Amino acid sequence: MKRFSLLLALLLSVSLFAQDSKSNISVHDPVMAKEGDTYYLFATGWGISAWSSKDLKEWKKEPAVFASAPKWAVEAVPTFKGHIWAPDISFHNGKYYLYYSISAFGKNTSAIGVATNETLNPASPKFKWVDHGKVIQSYPGRTNWNAIDPNIITDKKGKAYMAFGSFWDGLKIIELSPDRLSVVGDTITLATIASRKKTASADNPPAVDDNPKDAGGNAIEAPFIFKKGKYYYQFASIDYCCKGVNSTYKMIVGRSKNVKGPYLDRNGVLMSQAGGTLLLEGNKDWYGVGHNSVYNFDGTDYLIFHGYAAAENGQPKLRIEKLGWDKKGWPYVAPDKR
């Protein structure tokens, strides 16, 4: 009878774990970090959605980062109610830094904030998110860029930069302070590191503008910079996310030996002048794929992103694929993995 009770308890615990964890989770804008033997995923959601996994397949829902909307964010963006966009997670000097986006939909009334934590494990006594408030903000009529979709990259000298942006004048990059809680230098006029627009000149006439007119036009967003060998690779997403079966999201990439650019695609075209080599696009199974992050876990490079599943009426689903590199140093996703 005792052995039967122990077996019953074991089966019950397994059943409860199965109910608590699931694969094929629905996310937008996923980013990831690994602490110990556990992967932690953060994504767009109320208070910032969080998940954990031991194997990158079964995911356990964790408490949201914020139980209530940060006060500074409500003051900065009056229409903000607590749905936080496009986080970015990084580790520096013993702490995890979680950058996140606050915005009015379709407007560049936006801001990026940051919170820190000593650990990502909610069971640890050291687990506590500390919000440090606003890092940078964009203003309609004053800045021709949008302060969302942050990504942090460190250069060869240990200096941190934040790439960010969505629509308007394209993707930007700015230096961070040594404590990574604020930006350094001019915050109004920033160099563009990727765009779908061409700057007109005598030998470079503007192309026919087939970009969407809403949200400032220029459908490019979600920069993510990944260091591999002697290059910094800038990944970005173009066309439309967030439209379910009508989503047209796809990913492009370029590279540079300098973290601040210029970034060129495989054909030598500047990403700031509408360049970008296609990495992955939708197909019969996925209406669109994008807003990616890239990591090396235990010697393997992974492409983390979301796709709009045709089998589930365009629901956004987590996608994790291994990233390969060709002989010329360009990334690719194997066709049979899509």
Active site residues: 29, 221
For residue 4, what is the enclosing H or E element? helix 2-20
Helices (H), 57-169: 71-76
Look at the block and give the residue holding tokens 């990831």. Answer: 32
Burial code of 135-167, b = ≥16 C-beta within 10 A, e = fewer? bbbbeeeebbbbbbbbbbbbeeeeebbbbbbbb
Whether residue 61 contacts residue 83, with contact meaning beta carbons closer than 8 Å, is answered with no
User: Residue 31: which residues within 8 A CB-CB, separation 6 or more?
Assistant: 41, 42, 43, 87, 88, 89, 293, 304
The amino acid sitting at 115 is: A
- Collect all residues with Cβ–Cβ distance below 8 Å to 334 and sequence separation of at least 6: 321, 322, 324
What are the angstrom distances between the C-alpha of 304 and each of 139, 292, 294?
A: 31, 5, 6
- CA distances, 195 to each of 90, 137, 169, 199 (Å): 25, 20, 7, 10
Please, are residues 113 and 99 in contact by the beta-carbon 8 Å criterion? yes
